[in-house]
Amino acid sequence: MSSTVKSLAIWIGVVFLLLIWLPMLAIVRIFDRDPARYKTGKLFRNLGKYISKINPNWQITITGYENINDREPYVMVCNHLSQADIPLISNLPWEMKWVAKKELFDTPVVGWMMKLAGDISVDRKAPDRREQTFEQARYYLGHNCSVMFFPEGTRSRNGKLNRFKAGAFDLAIREGIPILPMVIDGTQNTLPKRSWKFGVAKHIKLKILDPISTEEYDKSDIRKLTKEVREDILDQLSKWRDQEPEEVDNMS
């Protein structure tokens, strides 16, 4: 089967799942009395899990998640290689509110579901966008629900690790919430940017690293914490790829 035909078949399956999931999500949202919309959000993440299962190219290994209780909230952070990262991370047995740019919430069907699930919209043009984001994130953390950031801000174009923005780490220190670092590799060729065709993926891996307490950090330590977490993620990528950290670091 050619890559074009295979990709077309996968997208048909994705559209089918979306059309099923939207009314299901709307119904669950009506009866979801949890202030964090936990059941609604968890159902939405399950959509990502099923999307990842219909792609025959994806062989996924996830490790390190067994002892994590997401109702003890975390600020979760992960490197970002492709749009495939989102359904991959949705395989985790947790609910987490995703921090995403406002434009995605305006997308038909997917954007509607993000709103129903209670994901966090970031208006990049707003001068107070950080405080708006923090206000929404603080609400969920206060109701025992984790929040999820891609601290690079956008997908890596070459698979290397980009600079981390400090927002997630600032939030974690302010609220005294532990950071939960995650590392992805292998998705960089699965759905190339500006292409609808799925690439042939290598073995896709997602590893949950040890949580990092922020109790001993204060506002002056934001940059230090950001650097420490980035180095942990960089080291794991270096081990997986059998390369020196400098070869994996886009800032070298």
Confidence at residue 50, expressed as pLDDT on a 0 to 100 scale: 93
Residue 194 clears pLDDT 80, i.e. is over it: no
Q: What is the CATH number of the domain that holds 205?
A: 3.40.1130
CB 42 within 8 A of CB 57: no
150 pLDDT band, cuts 50/70/90, is very high
Compute the Cα dihedral for 15, 20, 23, 27 and give only its sign: negative
Residue 62 clears pLDDT 90, i.e. is over it: yes
Confidence at residue 126, expressed as pLDDT on a 0 to 100 scale: 83
Which range has highest mean pLDDT (21-30, 82-91, 116-125)? 21-30
Confidence at residue 39, expressed as pLDDT on a 0 to 100 scale: 97
53 pLDDT band, cuts 50/70/90, is confident
182 versus 195: which is more confidently predicted? Answer: 182
Residue 193 clears pLDDT 70, i.e. is over it: no
What are the structure tokens assigned to 67, written together?
């002892």
Looking at the structure of the chain, the number of domains it has is: 1
Least confident segment among 156-160, 195-199, 230-234 = 195-199
Q: Residue 252 gets which letter from DSSP?
A: -
Confidence at residue 196, expressed as pLDDT on a 0 to 100 scale: 72
Give the C-alpha separation, 76 to 60, whole Å: 20
Mean per-residue pLDDT, 216-243: 97
CB 184 within 8 A of CB 81: yes
SS3 128: coil
Domain that holds residue 186: 3-248
The mean pLDDT of the chain is 93
Note the pTM of the prediction, 2 decimals: 0.93
Select from 51, 195, 189, 182 the least CA-distant residue to 110.
51
For the chain, the straight-line distance linking the first and the last C-alpha, in angstroms and rounded, comes to 41
Task: Give the type of residue at 82.
Answer: S
* Per-residue model confidence as pLDDT tens digits over 24-45: 999 999 999 999 999 999 999 9
Mean per-residue pLDDT, 159-188: 96
Percentage of the chain exceeding pLDDT 70: 97
Confidence at residue 1, expressed as pLDDT on a 0 to 100 scale: 60
